[in-house]
C-alpha cells in the first residue's frame, strides 16, 4: 500500500470517531430531553450507593419530562420518572421492552445465560418453560423443605441465644436462605446453619462480595458485542466451576438412581429430558444456568429483606409486638403448626415485609432495553432501539409525594385501603409485567417463614454493638447494611 494513503485513512477514521462521539454526547439534547449532559469530570461518587445517586437525579428532573437523560460514561440511559410511563414500559408497551440489556456471554460463561439476562425469543421460550416451576402448587410441594431449613435455623437460634445475647443477623439470615435455596434448587443439604463456612455459603458470599472490575463492567455494558468478542465474562471462573460441578453431580446421581425430590432441580431435569409438554428439551448448560440464577437471585434478596425488617422492628417495639401477635393468633388457629395455609394468613407480617421492601428494595433499580424505536407517549421524543432504560425504584419508594414521610417505617401503608389509594406502579420491588420476578412467591414465603419463626420465640432490641442508623454498603448493588446487623436477642 502506498504510504501516502495512510494520513487519509487516519483522518477518515478520526472524523468517523468524532462524528460518533458527537452524536453520542448530544444524544439527549438532540431529542429535547432534559439531561445531565456528558461530563467526564462528574464521575459518580463510588462511596455513595447507586440507589442514592439515582435518587438525586430523580428529584433533579422530576416533573419536567417523563424521563431524564443521563449518561453512564458516554452511554445514554433513559431514567424513567413518570409512573404512567412505567406502566407503558412494564406492561402496555412490553413488546418494545422485553429485554434488560444486561450483559451475558453464553459461549465463555455459560452460567450467565440465565432467565434474568436472556433476551428476545430465547427469554420468552425459557420463561414459558420455567413458569410452571413457580406456581402455588409447586410452592406447596416445596414448602416442607423450606420449613425443614427453618427448623435448623430455629434450633441454631435456641442454642445460641441466652439472655441479652448479641448476634449479627445478616449473615445468619443469609445462611438460612442459602439452606432453603440450596435444598430447593440443587437438592443439597448445604448445612450453612451448622457450618458458617459451608461451601454454598462461601460461594454465595464470594458472588456478592468479590470486588467488581469497573473497567470490565463498563466495557460489557457499553459495548457488549465487543466484550463477547474479547470473551469477557461476569462470573468468577472458580465460582462457575463449583456450580457447574454441583449441578452435574446432582443430575447424574438423580438420573442414574431415578431419584425424585419434588424440587426445582427435579423440574429442570424433566425439562432436560424433554418430558414436559412437547417443548424443546433444555441442554445441561441451560439447566445449570437456571439453577444458578435461582440461587443468586433468591438468597441474598430475601435475606436482606428480613435483615432490614428486623432492624426496623428493633427500633419500634409496638410494631414488633403487633407482628408477634399476628403470628401467635394465626398459629393458635392452626394448632401451633406453621402450615402453608397458616403462613398465607399472616397478613400483618406481609404488611411488615412489604413496607420493608418499600423502604429497602433489595434491587434498587430496574433495567430495560428498547427493542425497537419507541415514541414516548404524548411527546415527540423517540428512543432508538438499543437505548438503555433504568427505573429508579428506590427513589420512587422514597418520594414524599408518593409515600408521605418516606423515612418512617409504617406497615399501615399496606392495608388494602391504603394500597388502593396509590398509583399501581408506585411500589414495584419485584418489577412488574411479563418480566416480573419469577420467584416473588417463593421469596415472600421464605421471608415470611423466617420472620414468623423469629418473632414467635425471640425479642429483638438494640444492643451495645448495634449501629443506628444503618447505612447501605456501596460495595454491593443489592441494598445491604454496611456493618451487618447486630442486635440484642432475648428468648421469650
Ligand atoms: C424478596 C425477594 C426477591 C426480590 C426483592 C426480587 C427482586 C427481583 C427483581 C426486581 C427482578 C427484576 C424484575 C423486573 O425487571 O421487572 C427479579 C427478577 C428475577 N428474580 Fe427475583 N427477587 C426476589 C426473590 C427471588 C427468588 C427467591 C428467586 C428464585 C428462586 C428469584 C428469581 C428471579 C429470576 C429468575 C428473575 C428474572 C426473571 C425474568 O427475567 O424473567 N427472585 N427479582
Ligand atoms: C404484599 O406484596 C405481595 C406481592 O406483591 C402481595 O401479593 C401481597 O398482597 C401484599 N400484601 C400486603 C398485605 O400488602
Task: Assess contact for 415 and 394: CB atoms under 8 A.
Answer: no
Query: Which residue's CA is the closest to the ligand 2 atom numbered 8?
Result: 350
- Looking at ligand 2, which residue's alpha carbon is closest to its atom 11? 350
Distance 373 CA to ligand 1 centre (A): 27
414 Cβ inside 6 Å of ligand 2: yes
The predicted structure's pLDDT at residue 44: 61
Residue 422: CB atoms within 10 A of its CB come to: 14
Residues 6+ apart with CB under 8 A from 195: 201
For residue 390, how far is its CA from the centre of ligand 1 (angstroms)?
Answer: 16
Residues 145, 139: Cα–Cα separation, whole Å: 10
Q: How far apart are the CA of 81 and the centre of ligand 2, in A?
A: 23
Burial of 107 (0-12, 13-18, 19+ CB in 10 A): exposed
Q: Is the CB of 355 under 6 A from ligand 2?
A: no
Residues sharing a CB contact under 8 Å with residue 319, sequence separation 6 or more, in sequence order: 312, 313, 352, 409, 411
Question: For ligand 1, what atom is nearest to the CA of residue 434?
Answer: 41
* Bridge partners for 472 per DSSP: 481
Distance CA 71, CA 60 (A): 15
Q: Whose CA is nearest to atom 21 of ligand 1?
A: 437
User: What pLDDT, on a 0 to 100 scale, did the predictor assign at position 1?
Assistant: 61
pLDDT at position 262: 78
Nearest to 370 by CA among 38, 67, 32, 64: 67
Dig out the grid coordinates for 215 from the structure: 473497567
Pairing of strands 388-391, 75-80: parallel
The per-residue pLDDT for 5 is 86
- Is the CB–ligand 2 distance for residue 356 below 6 Å? no
* Residue 458 Cβ < 6 Å to ligand 2: no
What is the predicted pLDDT for the residue at 276? 62
Atom of ligand 2 nearest to the CA of 350: 13
Ligand 1 centroid to 100 CA: how many Å?
13
Could you report the average pLDDT of every consecutive run of 10 residues in the chain (492 residues)? 82 88 87 82 71 94 95 89 98 97 93 95 92 89 92 94 93 94 84 81 83 84 89 89 91 90 86 73 92 92 97 98 98 96 97 98 97 96 96 98 98 97 97 97 96 97 94 90 94 93
Q: What is the per-residue pLDDT for 278?
A: 62
pLDDT number for residue 277: 59
Give me the pLDDT at residue 40, please. Answer: 54
35 close to ligand 2 (CB < 6 Angstrom): no
Give distance in angstroms: CA of 301 to centre of ligand 1: 8
457 CB within 6 A, ligand 2? no
Amino acid at each position: 500500500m502506498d504510504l501516502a494513503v495512510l494520513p487519509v485513512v487516519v483522518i477518515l477514521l478520526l472524523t468517523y470517531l468524532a462524528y460518533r462521539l458527537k452524536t453520542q454526547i448530544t444524544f439527549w439534547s438532540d431529542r429535547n430531553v432534559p439531561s445531565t449532559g456528558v461530563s467526564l469530570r462528574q464521575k459518580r461518587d463510588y462511596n455513595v450507593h447507586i440507589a442514592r445517586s439515582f435518587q438525586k437525579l430523580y428529584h433533579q428532573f422530576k416533573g419536567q419530562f417523563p424521563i431524564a437523560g443521563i449518561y453512564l460514561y458516554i452511554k445514554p440511559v433513559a431514567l424513567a420518572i413518570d409512573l404512567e410511563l412505567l406502566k407503558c414500559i412494564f406492561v402496555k408497551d412490553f413488546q418494545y421492552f422485553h429485554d434488560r440489556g444486561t450483559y451475558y456471554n453464553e459461549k465463555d460463561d455459560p452460567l450467565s445465560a440465565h432467565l434474568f439476562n436472556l433476551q428476545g425469543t430465547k427469554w420468552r421460550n425459557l420463561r414459558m418453560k420455567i413458569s410452571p416451576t413457580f406456581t402455588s402448587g409447586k410452592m406447596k410441594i416445596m414448602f416442607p423443605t423450606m420449613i425443614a431449613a427453618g427448623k435448623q435455623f430455629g434450633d441454631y437460634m435456641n442454642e445460641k441465644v441466652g439472655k441479652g445475647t448479641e448476634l449479627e443477623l445478616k449473615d445468619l439470615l443469609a445462611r438460612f436462605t442459602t439452606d432453603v435455596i440450596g435444598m430447593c434448587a440443587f437438592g443439597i443439604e448445604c448445612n450453612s446453619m451448622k457450618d458458617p463456612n459451608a461451601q454454598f455459603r462461601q460461594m454465595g458470599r464470594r458472588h456478592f462480595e468479590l470486588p467488581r472490575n469497573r473497567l470490565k463492567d463498563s466495557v460489557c455494558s457499553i459495548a457488549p458485542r465487543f466484550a463477547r468478542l474479547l470473551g469477557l465474562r461476569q462470573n468468577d471462573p472458580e465460582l462457575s466451576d463449583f456450580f457447574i460441578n454441583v449441578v452435574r453431580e446432582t443430575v447424574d446421581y438423580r438420573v442414574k438412581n431415578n431419584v425424585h425430590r419434588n424440587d426445582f432441580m427435579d423440574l429442570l431435569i424433566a425439562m432436560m429430558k424433554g418430558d414436559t409438554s412437547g417443548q424443546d428439551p433444555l441442554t445441561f448448560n441451560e439447566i445449570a444456568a437456571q439453577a444458578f440464577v435461582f440461587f443468586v437471585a433468591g438468597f441474598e434478596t430475601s435475606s436482606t429483606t428480613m435483615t432490614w425488617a428486623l432492624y426496623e422492628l428493633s427500633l419500634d417495639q409496638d410494631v414488633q409486638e403487633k407482628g408477634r401477635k399476628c403470628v401467635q393468633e394465626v398459629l393458635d388457629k392452626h394448632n401451633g403448626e406453621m402450615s402453608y395455609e397458616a403462613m398465607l394468613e399472616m397478613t400483618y407480617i406481609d404488611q411488615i415485609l412489604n413496607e420493608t421492601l418499600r423502604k429497602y428494595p433489595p434491587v434498587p433499580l430496574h433495567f430495560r432495553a428498547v427493542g425497537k424505536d419507541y415514541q414516548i407517549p404524548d411527546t415527540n421524543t423517540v428512543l432508538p432501539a438499543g437505548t438503555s432504560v433504568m427505573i429508579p425504584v428506590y427513589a420512587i419508594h422514597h418520594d414524599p409525594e408518593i409515600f408521605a414521610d418516606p423515612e418512617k417505617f409504617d406497615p399501615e401503608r399496606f392495608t388494602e385501603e391504603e394500597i388502593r389509594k396509590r398509583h399501581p406502579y408506585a411500589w414495584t420491588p419485584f418489577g412488574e409485567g411479563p418480566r416480573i420476578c419469577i420467584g416473588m412467591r417463593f421469596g415472600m414465603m421464605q421471608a415470611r417463614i423466617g420472620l414468623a419463626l423469629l418473632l414467635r420465640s425471640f425479642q429483638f432490641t438494640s444492643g451495645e454493638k448495634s449501629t443506628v442508623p444503618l447505612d447501605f454498603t456501596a460495595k454491593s448493588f443489592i441494598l445491604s447494611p454496611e456493618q451487618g446487623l447486630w442486635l440484642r436477642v432475648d428468648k421469650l
